[in-house]
Structures are given as structure tokens and as C-alpha cells.
Structure 1
């Protein structure tokens, strides 16, 4: 769970703390403004909610993948030397 939070915050914080590309050119915006507004991505503009869920699902997938790698490495170590 901790690694999921770390990945999510590491990717999401810069996204909604970055420059708002509206005419006012605000330097930062609140989470509410990000959530209810739009976000620029490589293929166009999407809602803040959709951007947040995409970043969140990526963080969870990375955490699950990292955990799976550690489990397989531990199982291989135990299979090689059962005294571990």
C-alpha cells in the first residue's frame, strides 16, 4: 500500500500543481480546480477526473508489478536454498 501511495503522489502532485494553461496563467491550482477542470495531455485535453484515474491506475499497476517481482525473486531464492 505504501508503494502505491508513493507512486501515485510522485506522479499526481506535479500534474495538478503545474501551470494552469488558461488565459489567466495561474501558477498553481487547487485540487478542486484540477478535479473539476481539464488537463492537457499529449493527445489533447481530458477532464481532471480522467487524468487522475489514469495516473492512479498506473501507480497501482506499478506497485502490483513490483510486488510480483519481489515475490518471484523470494520464491526463486527459497527454491535455490531452502534454509532461507
Structure 2
């Protein structure tokens, strides 16, 4: 019977190593996903510009200057166009 307990100990350690390696792999993938795309799920990103920030959409027109984009966070029902205008979908008004 002493032989049975000695044989199960290495297999138990092996199983624990696989579980630990799997958990580490999942943790690593979650961290790398956040590092690669920190703005996932956000409508816009903040770009520092001197002593203030501009809110820029993810589909920004590369020819548009950062200074054309708003310095205040748009409301939940508003969106920023690729050229820097804030559009409210409810009434269609545009503000610079």
C-alpha cells in the first residue's frame, strides 16, 4: 500500500502544474488583450494636447487636426464624427 501512495503523489503534482499553467495562460491573455487595445468598447479616446485633452473617435480622419476635436466629453447620446463635429442623433444638430 505504501507503493500506491507514492505513485499518486507525482500524478497529483503534475495535475496541479497543468492547472497552474492554464490559469497563468488565461491571466496572461487577459492582460495582453488589455495592453494591445486599452480602448476596447469605448466610443472615443482621450488625446493629451498641451494642458487639456481632446476626445477623438476611433475612426478619426487622419487628415483632421487634433485641435478640431472637442475638449469636453460628449453626452451619452452624442457621437463625434471623424472630422471632429459632435452630432446628436436625436435632433441632428451639429456643434463645433
Instruction: Report the TM-score, using the length of structure 2 for normalisation.
Output: 0.35
Question: Which structure's residues are more often helix, by fraction?
Answer: 1
Q: Which has the higher strand share?
A: 2
**Structure of greater relative contact order (alpha carbons < 8 Å, 6+ residues apart):** 1
**TM-score with structure 1 setting the length:** 0.40
- Structure 1 or 2, whichever has the larger Rg, is 2
